[in-house]
Amino acid sequence: MKKHAPKAALCHARSIVMPWSVIRSDTSPSRHLSQTPPAVFSVCQRESPARLFNNEEILHLNTYDFMAYVGKSVINPGGTPGRDKILALVKPQPGTRVLEIGCGTGHTACHIARRYRCHVTALDISPAMIDTARQVVQTQKLQEQVDCRVGDIAHLPFADHTFDSVICQAVLMFVDKQAALQEIRRVLRAHSRFAGLEFSWRCEPPPRVRDLTYRICGCRTLEFYSAAVWGQHLQQAGFDTVESHEQPFTMLSPSGFLRDEGVANSLKIFGRIVRRKANLQRMGEIWQHFSRYTEYFSYTVLAGVTPGHPA
């Protein structure tokens, strides 16, 4: 049994924040990452990612951008099971309009469009991420179903009551929660559902582990909430039928990595990592931290419905 396991079993869930592309470049962390050029914090994978950055820049990429840089397609705390949990909550119907906020490289938007035969608007604050998402959409021949746009969750560029459902993955933790949730509610039609997932503390960590997690993640815009408090945020924003549930964090376990990426892409990612010492060093830092302190990490699935939804 791990040293902290007995304590973890008695603790309440709390949220941990990981980098996500919704963050503007001016939110680069103040610790050892403070000297990193701002552009580094909003750059994603390109056709030849190994030539994008020098070694020093690679070592200062935040966790999300580094994972995208080496080619990981599923970058959220719940992996594909977490994605599927929030999709089961919103239940997209054929022909309906779905908004994904913080779409990153666009793989989830394509999955939704293909599986549920609906129209997906994929939104991200990073132009570089949207460029990559458009390439992914084109490769999967889903241009008629997926529309990729640059936009800010706090100022959604859509008219009132535009969408039948809205989802986001590891986004709300970086922003003004009430401003973002009010915008989400505004663009949702009546009787429509929002669902998301956010990192959480499985157990309250020691200050040293908390600070080290912030440093490893590479972001200073962090807020921590229990599943219950996440639910309260949705209620305060005017959502009904609110639910929030803690889930185990397995994305960076070997089995979780293979589950999310498959054998072929896992091998490609491994090849990109081992080609450069800086890649190995950054990946090792991330993997070692989350493996060593795994008893502290989880994620929360949360959902709510705009007023008037039938029981």
Q: Are 113 and 148 in contact (CB under 8 A)?
A: no
Q: What pLDDT score was predicted for residue 222?
A: 58
- Strand 297-305: give its sheet, edge to edge: 146-150, 119-124, 97-101, 163-169, 188-201, 297-305, 240-248
Instruction: Name the residue with higher pLDDT: 79 or 195.
Output: 195
| 107-116 and 79-90 helices, crossing angle to 10° | 50
Instruction: Name the residue with higher pLDDT: 189 or 52.
Output: 189
Mean pLDDT for 193-204 is 89
Write the pLDDT tens digit of every residue in 260-306. Answer: 889 999 999 999 999 999 999 999 999 999 889 988 888 999 999 99
Q: What pLDDT score was predicted for residue 196?
A: 96
pTM over 0.85: no
Q: What pLDDT score was predicted for residue 22?
A: 32
Write the pLDDT tens digit of every residue in 216-225. Answer: 887 666 566 7
Mean pLDDT for 120-149 is 95
Instruction: Name the residue with higher pLDDT: 63 or 189.
Output: 189
Q: What pLDDT score was predicted for residue 229?
A: 86
Mean pLDDT for 95-123 is 96
| 127-139 and 107-116 helices, crossing angle to 10° | 40
Mean pLDDT for 139-149 is 97
Looking at every residue in the chain, the average pLDDT score rounds to 81
Q: What pLDDT score was predicted for residue 61?
A: 87
Write the pLDDT tens digit of every residue in 1-43. Answer: 434 434 333 343 333 333 323 332 333 333 333 233 333 233 3
Q: Which of 107, 31, 30, 99 is nearest to 68 (CA)?
A: 107
Instruction: Name the residue with higher pLDDT: 311 or 129.
Output: 129
* Residue 237 predicted with pLDDT over 70: yes
Integer Cα distance of 230 and 56 in angstroms: 37
Mean pLDDT for 191-198 is 95
Highest mean pLDDT among 64-68, 122-126, 253-257: 122-126
* The Cα angle at residue 186 between residues 220 and 301, in degrees rounded to 5: 50
CB atoms within 10 A of CB 127: 12
* Residue 311 predicted with pLDDT over 50: no
Under DSSP, is residue 119 helix (H, G, I), strand (E, B) or coil? strand
Per-residue pLDDT band at 230 (split at 50, 70, 90):
confident
Under DSSP, is residue 234 helix (H, G, I), strand (E, B) or coil? helix
Choose the weakest-confidence range: 44-48, 69-73, 146-150, 231-235: 44-48
Instruction: Name the residue with higher pLDDT: 196 or 203.
Output: 196
* Fold entry, domain 80-197+228-244: Rossmann fold (3.40.50)
* Residue 242 predicted with pLDDT over 80: yes
